[in-house]
Structure 1
Amino acid sequence: MTGKRALLAEVKRELRIQRSAARDKLPADQREQLSSLVCRHAWEWMKTVGAASLLAYVPFRSELDTRPLITRAWEEQCEVLLPRVLPGSGAMTLHKVHSWNELAPGAYGILEPVLSTGAQQESEVLPLPTTIFVPGLAFDLRGGRLGYGRGYYDRLRAAWETNPREHAKPPIWIGVAYGMQIVPEVPMADHDAFMDLLITENGILHCRKGE
């Protein structure tokens, strides 16, 4: 690792520790209230743009709770994809899910889709979701994202961009977060991807207008 990369990695590590501690300090009832507002904004945006499917995450620890959004999507017949992570390979596969009963604790203790006999194992067999809601420890107004350092979403995005599907429109990548997670600037490496939108309890921010 070069000196520049090592410095960036250290800055990210320190920021992860800081922002994780700050998020953990939010009272549970406040997290629930803020998450509900964010999910409401997210669903209203999806209706406005006519999004037909979404990839979301199941919350873990103090993450913003996406469960109200996922439940609403099921109620409105919107296709929901949820991920399974494969720690050994660093990959993440996507699976259609229709209810909470189809989930069980998986890697890192996070709820994941349970694979039935003969179920598809690879995300490539599924259509690309219209929208992807991404977790993170911090975001900035450019759409910069500080993840957890494991790179699952970065690798998923890179795989899609390296091997684009014919006639498939690229998904819209959206960071969902509490307002207190927005920082002046997230340190970004050349390979780090920016979000298209951010959604907090304060509303929707379009990050990539100028591109």
Structure 2
Amino acid sequence: MSRPMSDTAHHKAQLRALAHHLRRLMPAGAGEAGSIAACARLLALPELAEVRTVLGYAAMPAEIDPAPALAALRERGVLVAYPRVCADRVLTLHVIDDPSELVPGAFGILEPPERAPTTGPAELDAVIVPGVAFDAACARLGHGAGYYDRLLAALAPDVPLIALAFDEQIFGEVPREAHDIRMHVVVTPSAAYRRAD
């Protein structure tokens, strides 16, 4: 017998469905234009001025593509790591010099090959993550599997957590549970939301 869904879990599921629906309604070409604008805003953040190693991601179709920003960081000499999904629902982190090395992995998401050099959470100076929905207080709602929740919990509290999102992914309030970690900054094509505390 399955457990009934909590009110918070139910609200999260509804918000995920709404966010996916709104993203599908965006006009063709809005994804690329939004990604370029968000990446420009991302690169202007003071949190990235002195980083040596950053965690990025390879975007799925409904996400802001951080590739232009990650390329610019590489040109500054920054090491860029990407997550790789393991069988035990854990993300391992691998440094990639050339995004063409990424291969389709779990869920069809591009990720580093297993042989790519690894790094750990303690080596990261900043983390850039995707998500499904966010609010102005920098709460993040992911896809619900908890991969990023576990990774973010392993980071030192002073590591900047930066999310990229389309403006359509910002909502009045994102429901949170005890394990949900808020971002320090959520960057969209038109704004950068900062956590108040």
In structure 1, C-alpha distance between the alignment counterparts of 2:180 and 2:114, rounded to whole Å: 31
Q: How does 1:170-181 map to 2 (within 5 A)?
A: 170-181=158-169
Q: In the alignment, which residue of structure 1 is the partner of 2:193?
A: 205
Using the size of structure 2 for normalisation, the TM-score is 0.90
Q: Which runs of 5+ in 1 are unaligned?
A: 162-168
Q: Which runs of 5+ in 2 are unaligned?
A: none
Aligned CA distance change for structure 1 residues 28 and 72 (closer, same or farther; 3 Å): farther
Runs of 4+ displaced beyond 4 Å = none
Aligned CA distance change for structure 1 residues 55 and 12 (closer, same or farther; 3 Å): same
When you count helix as a share of all residues, which structure comes out higher?
1
Q: In the alignment, which residue of structure 2 is the partner of 1:60?
A: 60
Q: Percent identity?
A: 32
What amino acid maps onto 1:108 in structure 2?
A: F
What amino acid maps onto 1:15 in structure 2?
A: L
Q: Does 1:45 align with 2:45?
A: yes
Matched-pair contact (CA < 8 Å) for 2:48–2:126: no
What amino acid maps onto 1:8 in structure 2?
A: T
Using the size of structure 1 for normalisation, the TM-score is 0.84
Q: In the alignment, which residue of structure 2 is the partner of 1:184?
A: 172
Aligned CA distance change for structure 1 residues 107 and 81 (closer, same or farther; 3 Å): same
Matched-pair contact (CA < 8 Å) for 1:57–1:83: yes
Q: CA RMSD in A?
A: 2.1
CA offsets per residue over residues 15-47 of structure 1, 9 Å max, x none?
111111111221231111111011011112158
Aligned CA distance change for structure 1 residues 51 and 160 (closer, same or farther; 3 Å): closer
Q: In the alignment, which residue of structure 1 is the partner of 2:114?
A: 115
SS of residue in 1 equivalent to 2:162: strand
SS of residue in 1 equivalent to 2:171: coil
In structure 1, C-alpha distance between the alignment counterparts of 2:95 and 2:194, rounded to whole Å: 28
